[in-house]
Amino acid sequence: MTITGGAAAARVLKQLGVRNLFGLHGGHVDPIFQGCYDEDIRIVDTRHEQAAGHMADAWARLTGQPGVAVVTAGPGVTDIVTAVANAHLDCVPMVVIGGRYALGEEETMPLQEMHGVPLMQSITKWSRAVHDPARIPEYVALAFHQATSGRPGPVFLEIPADVLAAKMEPDSLRWPAVPEAQPSRPRPSAEAVEGVLDMIAQAERPLIMAGRGVWFAGATAELSDFAEATDTPVIANGQTRGAVPEGSPLGLGGFLGAGRALAMGAQPDLVLMLGARFGLFTGGRQSIVPPTARVIQIDVEPEELGRGGRVDAGITADCREALRALTAAASPRQWPDRSQWLQAAATAAGAARAMIAQSPSASSDCIHPYTVAAEVSALIEDKGVLCVDGGDTFVWGELALNAQRPGRYLGHGYLGCLGIGLPFALAAKLAHPDEPVILLTGDGSIGLNFTEFDTAMRHDLPIVVVVNNDAAWGMCKHEQMVSLGADRVIGTELGPTRYEKAAEAFGVYAEFVEDGDGIRPAIERAIASGRPACVNIMTDPNAISPAQAALAVAGSA
C-alpha cells in the first residue's frame, strides 16, 4: 500500500510526539491534513494563518514542545510571517511547514507562485525546501532537531504540492530514528561555579533575574532551590514568573514592575542573569540593572553573553545544568544573613503596585484599567492561565499579576506583536484543558484576530476574553497626549464598540460591564458558563500606565 508525501510527514510528526497541528487549509497542503487525520493528530484549523502561527508559538511556550503550523502556498506563507518573527525574537521552538506550487510549474506563473524559503531565512534558525518526496521524513525530523537544539527557535520547511502528493512505498523510505533521550546540555566548569558563588557571597544585595531561558530549560524547580539555598531574591520574566511564588520573601515580581522599582529604590549590588537578555524587558538603554552592580550572565548561547550590557562574568551553560551545579556547591557553604536586604527589596518591589492600586482614575466615573487587571489576576493566581495582549493593557497586566506558578502566563515578547491574545489563549486551553484561561486584552488588539472566536466555538475551547475597552489604541494615544498634547491625538482613537455583541454572533457567552463592582461577578459568570466568553469592560480612556508615561517623557527629552 502506497502513501503520499503528506502522509509520510504526518507519520513522522506522530513519532515525534505531535498531538496538535495548527493551520489553515489549502489545496497545496491537503495531503498533510489527510495524513494527520489518519494519524489521529488533532487539526486545529484557524480563521487566519497568523493565528495558526501564534497558536503554535504559544503551545511551545507553555509545553516546551515544538509547536507545529501548516499553511498553504503564497499568501498562506506570507500571512504567518508575523507569528514566525514573534517566535524568532523570543527563541521559541516552532516548526512551520509551508506549501508551494509544483516543481514542474517553475516560471509558468501558476497559482501562488512564490518562494517561501528566502522570505523566511531572516526570521528562522533554519529554512529549507524539500524536492525529493523520499526525503520528507528526514527533513521533518531535521526540522525538529534544528528548532530544539541549542538556543531554540522557529524553522521553516517548504514542500511543493507535487512532492506532498507523490505516492511511495513506505518500505522504500528512510524513516529517521527518533531519539529517546535529550542530548547532553552544556555545563559550567567547577571553577566557574565557585567563582559565581564567591561573587554572590561577597555581595550585600544580590538579585537573580530569571528570563524565559529558565523555563525553556525546564529549570524552574532548580531556580527555586538555588534562591532558597543562597537566600537570594528573584525577579522573573515570561513563563518563568511564578517559579518562585511572587509575594513570598524571595519572589518579588516581574522585570517591568519589580525590576524597575528595585532599580529606583533598594538597588542590588550584584545581578545574576539566568536565561535573560539585555533589552526591552530589562529597561533598554535605561537598564533596570544599576550601573554600579556587578553582573553575572549565564546563557546557553555564547553570543548572548554581554550583548547590550556590561557583564563581569559570562558563562555558557544550560540554565538547568548551571543551577543544579550551583545549588550543589552552595549547600555546604555558610551564607550571610540577608534579612535586611530581603525586606528592603520586598518593600521597594511592592511600592509601585501599592501606589497604582490606590491611585484614582483620571475620570472619576470610569473604571481604572488597573482595577480590571487586578481582578483578573486575582481570579487565576491559584488555578488558571493568564494571557495579556495590548499596549498599556499589557503593562497593567504585568504590574497586577501576582504569579504563583510557572508556565501560566503569556504576554508580549520582543516583537511587541498585538493580536497574539486570542490565539495564545486558545493554545493555553489546549495545553491546560482543566484550568480556566483568561485573556486580558485591549480593545485595539482584540480586533486583529477577532474571528478566532469562531475557532474557539468550533473546537470547544472555553476561554474567557476580558476586553479593557478605553476606545483607543491606548499606548499610542497616551504617548501623543504626554509628548505632544491632547490637541495632537491623531489616528489613535476608536469607538466605544460593543465587542461582546460582535462576539456573541459567533455563539459565545457575552457580558457588558460599566461599573467596577460588576467586574468580578461578570468574569465568574463567564467562567461558569463553560463556553467561550467575551466580557467587555468600559474603562477610563485617560488612564496612562507608568511605563508609557516614562517612555513618552524619555522620548520627548
Residue 65 a catalytic site member? no
Q: Checking DSSP bridges between strand 3-4 and strand 313-316, what pairing results, if any? A: unpaired
In DSSP notation, 87-130 reads HHHTT--EEEEEEE--GGGTTS--TT---HHHHHGGGSSEEEE-
Q: How far is CA 96 from CA 4, 20, 66, in A?
A: 19, 13, 10
Instruction: Kindly name the residue from 416, 514, 530, 555 that is annotated as catalytic.
Output: 416
* Active-site annotation holds for 112: yes
Choosing from 5, 23, 26, 28, which is the catalytic residue?
28
Angle at 367 between CA 361 and CA 369, to 5 degrees: 80
Give me the sign of the Cα torsion angle 107, 108, 109, 110.
Answer: negative
Residues 521, 545 contacting (CB under 8 angstroms): no
Give the three-class secondary structure for 17: coil
| Coil, helix or strand at residue 487 | helix
Instruction: Copy the grid coordinates of residue 132.
Output: 525529493
Query: CB of 128 within 8 A of CB of 157?
Result: yes
Closest by CA to 97, choosing from 28, 177, 159, 160, is 159
Residue with cell 509544483: 102
Phi-psi region of 417 (alpha: psi -120 to 50; beta: other; left: phi over 0): beta
For the CA atoms of 262, 267, 270, 274, the dihedral, rounded to the nearest 10 degrees, stands at 10
CA contacts within 13 A on the Cβ side of 281: 26
Using alpha carbons, list the distances in angstroms from residue 144 to 164, 242, 275, 479, 506.
19, 29, 22, 42, 36
Contact call for residues 54 and 421 (beta carbons, < 8 A): no
Give the C-alpha separation, 94 to 257, whole Å: 29
Q: Hey, which bits of 80-232 come out as E strands?
A: 94-100, 126-129, 154-160, 167-168, 206-210
The string over 402-419, giving b where at least 16 C-beta atoms fall within 10 Å of a residue's C-beta and e elsewhere, is bbbbbbbbbbbbebebbb
* Active-site hit among 5, 26, 74, 112: 112
Q: Angle 95-71-118 (CA atoms, 0-180°, nearest 5)? A: 70
Distance CA 79, CA 514 (A): 36
- Written as nine digits, the cell of 319 is 540554565
Residue 416 bears catalytic tag:
yes
CA 398 – CA 374 distance, rounded (Å): 10
Measured in whole angstroms, the distance separating CA 293 from the mean position of its chain's CA atoms is 29
In one-letter notation, the amino acid at residue 213 is G
Cell of 295: 553582573
SS3 assignment, position 467: strand
Please give the backbone phi and psi of residue 286, each rounded to the nearest 5 degrees, phi first: -95, 65
Q: Which residue is catalytic, options 6, 26, 49, 116?
A: 49
Catalytic residues: 28, 49, 112, 416
